[in-house]
A and B are shown apart, each in its own frame.
Chain A
Amino acid sequence: MNRQQFIDRLFAGAKQAGIEECEAYFAGSESFDVDVLDGAIKEYTVSERSGMCFRGVYKGKMGYASTEIEDEEAIDMLIEGVKNNASLLQTNDGESIFEGSENYPEVDTFDDAVPSIPASEKIAASIKMEQLVKAKDKRVLRVEGCGISSSVSNVRIVNSKGLDISGKSTLYAAAVAPIVSDGGNPNFGFELKYSHKACDVDIEQVADKSVDRALEGLGAVSIPSGKYKCVLRNDMAGALLATFAGVFSGESARKGMSLLKGREGEIIASEKLTIIDEPLLKDGLASSSFDAEGVARFTKDIVKDGRFMTLLHNRVTAAELKKTTTANAAKMGYAGKVTVAPTNMYVKPGDISFDEMLSEVGEGILITSLMGMHSGANPISGDFSLGAKGFMIKDGKKAFPVEQITVAGNFFEILKNIRAVASDLEFGRPGLGSIGSPALYVGEISVAGK
C-alpha cells in the first residue's frame, strides 16, 4: 500500500466510523551522524524515520492516535484509537481541523547540496576538524566528541477539508568538544554550528572557537558569595530565554501556568527589551511557511520596548482567550497533541558592542555557562537557581575565570532589570535550537560561591 492509498483508505474508514473531520500529519527524516576519535570513526549512524499522527473529531471531540508503520492493521488501530481517545475526553476545547490559509509565505530552508554530500566527505571533514583542534594549542589533550551531522526532513498535512500542504528542510551541523589541561584540572570546551545550508558551516571556525572556550576556563576559581553586577553572554541570555519561553505560551496561560495571562498591554520589562517571534527569518532554524495546524506563519512582537504585546497562540488557545491565532501551533514530535511553541524567537539587538557593555559594567560577573536548566528553574514562578561558570569583570574587562558558583534570581525581575542590550545577537547555541539573544546586562544578581 503506498501512502496515497493509505490516506484514502484511512479517511474513508474514518468517515464510515463516524469521525466527522480528520487530519493525517506525516513527519519523516533521513539523517547521518559521524563522530571521530584519533583520526578514525568512533560512531557512525544513518537513520530513516517516519511517523504519522491521525487526529479526528468524534462526537464533537478531537481524538489522537499515531503509528510508525503504515499498514492495514494501522488503519484500524488509528480509527479505533481516535474514537476511544475522543470518548475519554472530559473537556471540549473546540479543537477543529483547519481548512487552510489563503496564501502561504515562501521560506528557504532546503539546501540541495546537503543530501548529495557523500559520507566520505563528511568523515574527512570531521577528521580534519579534530586535527585542527589538536593543532591549535598544545594544552588540548583530546576531543570528547567531534563530528558532522546532516539531515533532510519533511512534513505533510492532509485533511478532510481539502488542505494538503508540505514542507521540507535540510540541516547541516558540525560540533566538537575539546578537553584541555595545563597540568591542573581538565576543562571542557564545546562549539556547535548548524544551518540549513552546508556552506554556512565553517569547521575551522568551529574548531577555533571550541578551543578558545575550553582554554579560557582553565584555572577557574570560586568567588565569595554576594551580589554582583551581572552580564549574561549572548548564548546564556538565549538559554535563559529558552528556559522560560513557556511564560509566553497561550497553552500555559489557558492552563493557569503563566503569570502573563491577561496582561497584554502592560509594561513587564525594561524599555530596552524587545522580543520578536519571526518564523520567516532568513536562515532561521525554525523558519517555516505553516504551523502544525496548517496556518500560514507570520512575524510578531511578543514584547515591544518593555510592553507585553501578545502571548503565542494556536487556534484553540486563541479562541479560548478571545484572541486570534499567532500561527504558533506546534507538536512535540509527530505524535504529540497540537500545542504552542515559539519559532525563531529572539531579543532584538541593541546598539552597544559586547566590549562596550563590559566597560559600562566596570566591576561584576560575566556568565558564560549555566547548568541545571531542566531542574533549577521553575517555569511557572520564574525563580531560578543554577550552577554557573564565567569571568570576573574588573576595570571593564574580563579578569579571571570563575567556577563552582550558583546564580539565583527570577526571570520576571531580570526582564525589568535589564540595563543594556548588546548588538551581538546569536542563535542556535547548544540545545536551544532557534531561540537567540545578544548579551544582556541584567543588573545585580545573587551569587553563591565560597
Chain B
Amino acid sequence: MLNKSAAEAALSKAVSTGGDFAEIFYEDTRRSRISQTDDRIDTATTSRNHGAGLRVYKGVNSVYVHSNDTSAEGLMKLARQAAEAVGNEKVPACDVRLVGSVTPNIHEIKQLPMDVCGEKRAKLLADACKAAKAYSAEIAHVSCAQWDWEQHVTIANTEGLFKNDTRVYARMMVQAIASMNGENQTGHVGPGGMCGFELFETLVNPEEAGREAAREAVTMLHADLCPAGVMPVIIDGGFGGVIFHEACGHSLEASSVAFGNSEFCGKLGQQIASVKVTAIDDGTIPNYWGSENIDDEGTPTTRLVLIENGILKNYMIDRLNSRRMNMPVTGSARRQDYTFAPTSRMRNTYIAAGTDDESEIISSCADGLYAKQMGGGSVNPLTGEFNFAVSEGYLIKNGKVDRPVRGATLIGKGGQTIMKIDRVGKKMWMAQGMCGSSSGSVPTNVGQPMIRVTDMTVGGRK
C-alpha cells in the first residue's frame, strides 16, 4: 500500500522547484500464466510487479520518474529527481493534504484469479486443445495459454486526490495450425474480460474457442491466394472493428490531436464519416476487457460518443493534453504499468449498431471481398494511412459469399475510408485486443456490426 504521509511529503517535494502539479501512481501486480503446446502444459509462471511512478508538470512540460523502491525514502528520491529536472525556481512550500475517496466498483469479480488452483487452469487448456484437435485431422499443432493479473493501484496528486483501485483481468488464447503438404495456416482466438476466473464458466467456453481456432486454420489451408486490386469490402462485426480502432480511433486520441498530428484536428462538429457511422468509446461496460472504474490519473471512467451520424463529437483527452488543448479530460488516461507515464488511449471502442440487414449487405454487393476475421494492423495518425491483415477472407461473387482467400491485406487512409462506409448492420459485438502505443500495451475492445466500404485497396499475391 502507498503510505499516505510518505506520498504527501514526496508530492510536496516534487513541486518545490516550480512544478505546478505532481502525481504518484503506485502499483503492485500479481500475474499468473500457464501455457500448453499440443497435449501438454509446458510453461507455468507467476510474477509480481511492484513500483511507483511520479510525474510533475510545469505548464505543458512533463517529467516522469519511476522506480521499484516504494519506501518513503524511495518516493522522496523520485521526488528529488523530478524536482531537479523541473528547474531551480524557489517557490513557497506547498502543503499537500491527501483526501481518500472511493469510486464504486462497477466490475464485480467472483473468483479472484490468484485463488484459482493450477489444476483448474490446466483443465481449461486441455479442453480447448482437445476440441481443436478433434475438429479436423488436418490440425497439426495447437497451442493454448491462459493468463490473468490482479493490479492494485493507488493514485495520489497535489490536488489532494487519493484513490485505490483493483483491476482484475482474465484471458485465454488458442492458436491452431492446420498443415498439408508442408504448408501451414493458422487460426487464432483470444477471448478475455475485466473479470475473474468465472469468465471461463460463463461467457467463454474453452472448447468452443478451440473449435473456432481450428475452423479458421482449416478454412485458410484450403483457401486460394487473394487477388489484388481495388474492390468493395464487407468487414464483419467483432474484431472487424479493428479497422475503426486503427484508422480513426488513434487519430482521435489527444496524444495525436494536441500536436496537430492527426487528420481530424480542428474538425469537431464537422462531418468526418458517412452518416451511417456512430462511434463510441466506453469504459463503463461491466466486466468488459477495456473497461475501468477510474483511469490511470484517477478520473472516473466515462462513455464517450466520438462520432454521431458522421459528425465528430469528442476527442479522447488525458490531463496533460487537456492543458495543451484547453479542453476537459475525458477519463481516457491509461498506461501499461508504473513504468509508463499515462496518455490518452482507447477503452471499448466500437461502431454502434446500424439499420442495415446483414444479408442485404452481401446480396447487394456484386463482386468484392468479405473479411470475416481481421488480423492486427497499424496506422500513421498524421496521414491516417493504415494497413491490416485479413485472417479469414472470402471472395464475393454476384452477391454471394464464394471461396475463401488468404494473404489479403487492406490498406487505405482512415478519413477516406470512414466516408465510404455505405452499410452498417444491425448486430454489434466486440472482441479483445492489446493496443500498443506510447504508454505501453493496454487491454482494449474493438467492435462493430457488419459494415461495407464501397472501395478499398486489397493487397494479395494473385
Contact = CB atoms under 8 A, between A and B. Distances in A.
Interface of A: 37, 40-51, 63-69, 74, 77, 81, 84-91, 93, 119, 142, 144, 179, 185-188, 222, 225, 255-257, 259, 335, 337, 371-372, 374-376, 378, 380-381, 383-387, 403-410, 446-450
Given A44-B62, A49-B66, A380-B184, A89 B44 contact: yes
Contact of A385 (B65, B383, B459): B459
Contacts of B383: 185-188
Please classify the interface of chain B as helix (H, G, I), strand (E, B), loop, or mixed, using the class held by over half of its residues: strand
A40 B62 CA distance: 11
Interface in B396-422: 406-409, 411-413
Contacts of B40: 89-91
Nearest to A449: B457
Given A47-B66, A409-B461, A337 B45 contact: yes
Nearest to B70: A69
Contacts of A51: 68
A74 B66 CA distance: 21
Given A89-B42, A376-B387, A371 B378 contact: yes
A408 B81 CA distance: 49
A298 B320 CA distance: 48
Interface stretch (B6-14, B46-54, B196-204, B277-285): B46-54
B411 A387 contact: yes
Interface in B187-228: 226, 228
A43 B62 contact: yes
A259 B182 CA distance: 7
Given A48-B66, A65-B45, 12 more contacts: A49-B68, A51-B68, A68-B68, A81-B45, A91-B41, A93-B42, A256-B141, A335-B45, A380-B177, A384-B407, A406-B459, A408-B459
A375 B459 contact: no
30 contacts: A41-B61, A42-B60, A45-B63, A45-B66, A45-B341, A46-B81, A49-B66, A84-B44, A85-B45, A85-B118, A89-B43, A91-B42, A119-B85, A142-B259, A144-B261, A144-B382, A179-B382, A259-B182, A259-B184, A375-B375, A375-B388, A385-B459, A385-B461, A404-B411, A406-B228, A406-B387, A406-B460, A410-B461, A447-B228, A448-B459
B380 interface: yes
A403 B385 contact: yes
B186 interface: yes
Contacts of A68: 48-51, 68
Contacts of A404: 385, 411-413, 457
B140 interface: yes
A419 to B, nearest CB: 19
A387 B409 contact: yes
B168 interface: no
A376 B374 CA distance: 10
Interface of B: 34, 36-37, 39-51, 60-69, 81-82, 85, 118-119, 121-122, 140-141, 143, 177, 182-186, 226, 228-230, 259-261, 339, 341, 375-378, 380, 382-383, 385-389, 406-409, 411-413, 457-462
Contact of B229 (A88, A144, A225, A374): A225
B388 A376 contact: yes
B47 A335 contact: yes
Given A68-B68, A385-B459, A375 B48 contact: no
B393 to A, nearest CB: 11
Contact of B68 (A50, A255, A409): A50
A256 B62 CA distance: 48
B387 A372 contact: yes
A305 B229 CA distance: 37
Q: Which of A87, A88, A222 has the most CB of B within 10 A?
A: A88
A335 B337 CA distance: 16
Contacts of B118: 84-85, 87-88
A335 to B, nearest CB: 5
B197 to A, nearest CB: 15
Contacts of A259: 182, 184
A206 B3 CA distance: 45
Contacts of B459: 385-387, 405-408, 448
